[in-house]
Amino acid sequence: MNILLCCAAGMSTSLLVTKMEKSAQDQSTEYKIWAVPGESVRNHIDQADVLLLGPQVRYLLPQLKKLGEEKGVPVDVINPVHYGTCNGEQVLKFAVQLVSK
Amino acid sequence: MSKFNSMLENKIMPIAGKMAGQRHLQALRDGIVLTMPLIIIGSVFLILSNLPIPGYNDFMAGIFGKEWAAKMAYPVGATFDIMALLACFGIAYRLAEKYGVDALSAGAISLAAFLLATPYKVSFLPSGAKEAILVDGGIPTALMGSKGLFVAMIVAILSTEIYRWFIQKDIVIKMPDGVPPAVGKSFAALIPGFTVIAFIWILRLLVEQTHFGSLHNIVGELLGKPLGVLGGSLGGTLVAELVIMLMWSCGLHGANIVGGIMAPIWYGAMDENRIAFANHEALPNIFTQQFFDIWINIGGSGATLALVVAMILKARSQQMKQLGKLGIGPALFNINEPIIFGLPMVMNPMMLIPFIITPLVTVVATYIAMSTGLVAKPAGIAVPWTMPPIISGYLATGGKLSGAVMQAINIGISVCIYYPFFRMWDKQKFAEENGIQSTVEEVPSDTQKDIV
């Protein structure tokens, strides 16, 4: 499963990526998790099964949701508390939930 | 939700949403970002040619010859002097991308349109002569750099709008099936591209009849000057900073949103300083991009490094201790989303007070220190915003200790402002953890859900 994260510069989401990878290691599913800046999403979304936005760029949601619908990729904003506390486990769960919906 | 929160939610969110969703502002911001890596690389050479070490000059001259500084300036010129060119291409590219039309063609067309808007006249000072003469047939590097930034922005948006209009109305030359797509694309760009070039050409012919002489002069007079006053004055800067912080208060990336408007001004000011610094002249500007990156946003927007340090050293509640540990690493590199969303700062009436006040106070303090000459101004050196404080202040001033000292002072100021609020918040969390009924008004945890 490929999980794409995006924020303004792809910096703070990359913190979360390491945490998510750590929690993904415990599961047997193969995960690819990576973070990009908002403007690069277009070039990465084709490889993604799900796109998660940092809460600080949630103004991009309408635009990216439209893009996601075209590509059949679910798009949503990460819960701010999970984001702030870098809760990789919860965010991973959220991503899996979105895909299986 | 408290009154303060609903005020933020109702007043700021719609403005932020509109500004952030505005595709031209987005394209401006994302396009100008294209110049950043190159400017940082150029800055490295700028620093190397001005290292404030005794004997360095003689040492370098001994190895590379007397002209070493001029040679060191080659990469500086090649990166800073094409800022407008790159921005023009970048903005057109990003805008076309948002319209879903061929971005590469749009970028190429607007690049040509930008050059078309620029007179190929260079003032040239022959060696030995006293007065410069105007020479035809050269591309003026000054106008390809920060001085041409506003024209580049306007041309990029104008030409891409024309371009996408034609493509979306399907007024293009169509190639029969079997023609390779790359060839087809270049033909598709013919009619819109021709229209863009003809339009800018006529515009230039008209402008040449006026006393302005060139599009660059008009834009400089009518747009650059007023905006420069706004971005260069303390009042204008405080307003911009306040808007940025209010957006962050709703959990939105304020700097990124306001960047579309302010970045050209602050990058232009940065480049003016860079040129003055290289020529060993007095630096004209205080408010440049680096002013905010280096002296104000220490630890991230809202200068939260001081707060994180307080959390590590003084927190009694487990929650604040843990968050401090989580937040200190990124905070040293000026990334503070863990604090903003984890503490949380967002929609937290108590913590928002220091969060908004601190940067406003440090803007004023740094401005006073720099305008009185106590502290060196930013020298036009683009230190990456992720550079840790103290080092970054030293580098951004071209190796002046006062730059680093000012950062330390600003950290001190933010400690003083944050600390009482941090104590109250920590006390409340400590009470919650230990089951003590808190007297302070609770922030219900479900406000977090409201803001998503």
Tokens of B23: 């595709």
pLDDT of residue B445 exceeding 70, the answer is no
The distance from CA B374 to its chain's CA centroid, rounded to whole angstroms, is 25
pLDDT value, residue A17:
87
- Which of B17, B253, B326 minimises the CB distance to A86? B326
- Which of B30, B337, B445 minimises the CB distance to A12? B337
Is A15 in the B-facing interface, judged by CB distances under 8 Å? yes
Between chains, do A59 and B252 touch, taking CB under 8 Å as contact? yes
Contacts 24+ apart (CB under 8 A), B121-130: none
Cα angle B88, B294, A57; round to 5? 60
Between chains, do B342 and A84 touch, taking CB under 8 Å as contact? yes
Pairing of strands B121-124, A75-77: unpaired
| pLDDT-above-90 percentage for chain B | 41
- Which of B248, B326, B341 minimises the CB distance to A81? B341
Of all residues in chain B, the one with the smallest CA distance to A60 is B21
pLDDT value, residue B446:
47
pLDDT in tens, B267-300: 889 999 998 998 889 999 999 999 999 999 999 9
pLDDT value, residue B1:
53
The residue among B124 and A95 whose pLDDT is bigger is A95
Between chains, do A15 and B252 touch, taking CB under 8 Å as contact? no
d(CA B370, CA A31): 51
Between chains, do A63 and B21 touch, taking CB under 8 Å as contact? yes
Contacts of residue A80 in chain B, CB cutoff 8 Å? Answer: 251, 341, 344, 346, 448, 451-452
pLDDT in tens, B336-365: 888 888 888 888 888 999 999 999 999 999
Residue B280 burial class via C-beta count within 10 angstroms: exposed 0-12, middle 13-18, buried 19 and up: exposed
Task: Read off the pLDDT of each residue in B112-117 and give the average, rounded to a whole number.
Answer: 95
Contacts of residue B451 in chain A, CB cutoff 8 Å? Answer: 55, 80
Picking from A7, A12, A69 by the largest number of B CB atoms within 10 A of its own CB, the best residue to mutate is A12
pLDDT value, residue B448:
44
pLDDT value, residue B451:
42
Task: Report residue B437's pLDDT band, with 50, 70 and 90 as the boundaries.
Answer: low
Task: Read off the pLDDT of each residue in B32-60 and give the average, rounded to a whole number.
Answer: 84
d(CA B337, CA A2): 24
Task: Read off the pLDDT of each residue in B143-163 and give the average, rounded to a whole number.
Answer: 92
Q: How many residues are recorded in chain A?
A: 101
pLDDT value, residue B189:
85
Is A98 in the B-facing interface, judged by CB distances under 8 Å? no
**Nearest one of B166, B406, B163, B145 to B273, comparing CA atoms:** B145
d(CA B240, CA B244): 6
pLDDT of residue B438 exceeding 60, the answer is no
pLDDT of residue B120 exceeding 70, the answer is yes
The shortest C-alpha distance from B253 to chain A (Å) reads 5
Residue numbers of A annotated as active site:
7
CA quadruple B373, B44, B303, B265: dihedral sign: positive
Contacts of residue B252 in chain A, CB cutoff 8 Å? Answer: 56-59
Task: Report residue B328's pLDDT band, with 50, 70 and 90 as the boundaries.
Answer: very high
Contacts of residue B253 in chain A, CB cutoff 8 Å? Answer: 7-8, 56-57
The residue among B250 and B328 whose pLDDT is bigger is B328
pLDDT in tens, B394-403: 999 988 999 9
Is B115 in the A-facing interface, judged by CB distances under 8 Å? no
Between chains, do A80 and B341 touch, taking CB under 8 Å as contact? yes
Is residue B130 within 8 Å of residue B74, measured between CB atoms? no
Is B250 in the A-facing interface, judged by CB distances under 8 Å? no
Under 8 Å CB pairs connecting chains A and B tally to 83
Cis peptide bond N-terminal to B344, omega within 30: yes
- ipTM value > 0.90: no
Is B384 in the A-facing interface, judged by CB distances under 8 Å? no
Q: Where are the beta strands (DSSP E) in B23-181?
A: 121-124, 133-136
pLDDT of residue B214 exceeding 60, the answer is yes
